[in-house]
Amino acid sequence: MLGTKFTDLTSGFIMFKRELLIKILEKPIHSKYHFLQTELRWKISSNTKNYIEIPITYASNSSPLNAQIILDAIVNLFLFTLTNLFNIMIQ
């Protein structure tokens, strides 16, 4: 839906070149919770095709998802998908 080549948009370690991070942060970050990882990876793939993904597997006891976290993810997935499909900019 988001048009990235990442295999996992939800976890792992992210390292940025300074120039790319500055470019990514020129526009506001919309996600507030767990979807932040997905938004950052989507912005990376929207701004450059020069990235490497190194998958990380781990076991973790995370806190349960509440309705606010799920709603944030759904709203932002919808906005980013529209941006990706129709090339519109969200502010």
In this prediction, residue 71 carries a pLDDT of 92
With CA atoms as reference, report the closest residue to 40 among 50, 49, 31. 31
Question: Given pLDDT bands bounded at 50, 70 and 90, which one contains residue 86?
Answer: confident
In this predicted structure, the answer to whether residue 89 has a pLDDT above a threshold of 70 is no
Domain ranges of the chain: 18-86
- pLDDT tens for 16-75 read 788 888 888 888 889 888 888 888 888 888 888 777 777 776 666 667 778 888 899 899
Where is pLDDT greater, at 29 or 13?
Answer: 29
Gap between the Cα atoms of 3 and 85, Å rounded:
9
In this prediction, residue 90 carries a pLDDT of 61
SS3 label, residue 37:
helix
Where is pLDDT greater, at 65 or 77?
Answer: 77
Q: If you average pLDDT over residues 5-24, what whole number do you get?
A: 80
